[in-house]
Amino acid sequence: NDAPVVTLPGAQVVAVNSSLTLSGANAIQISDVDAASNTVQVTIGVTQGTITLSSTVGLSFSNGDGISDANLSFTGTIASINAALDGLVYSPINGYTGNASISVAVNDLGNMGTGGPLSDTEVLNVQVGGVNFQEGVNGYAGTQDTFLRQYSVNSSYGSNTE
């Protein structure tokens, strides 16, 4: 029995009051070389918002329903689960700015082989709103700390996004 694997994109950034869609090269994916068409269990938990799966076909839920949930637990085949994860939408709490996360755990339920159930858990970090650039951190070579925040200005004369 080989352990399942959760594959995540790199850390993500989303503007305040906007949604983040994880699809294509940025999709969350699971794999298990020996699960074949057997079901596996996935548990997803998010902070500072909710998630919506792109599909619920072929999934059986024990927690949540795949629409605007902070916590989900469901079973399905690897193919059904990956179809649901490709296009997953993370929606931060309205007005929230700061760090958030999406935690994804997969359990193979002991399918195929010996050794009992095996699992993998990974956490995707999401920066909501402003991004802090600190000198000497993550390759930033500026001369001082800089904080950028995305916001919109609205008036009766129109709107401007800065």
Residue 112: predicted pLDDT: 72
What pLDDT sits at residue 133?
55
What span, in angstroms and rounded, lies between the C-alpha atoms of 152 and 121?
A: 37
| Spans in the chain with pLDDT lower than 50 | 145, 151, 162
Predicted TM-score (pTM) of the model is 0.79
Residue 157: what pLDDT?
54
Any bridge partners for residue 60, and if so which? Answer: 75
Q: SS3 helix, strand, coil % of the chain, rounded to 5?
A: 5, 45, 50
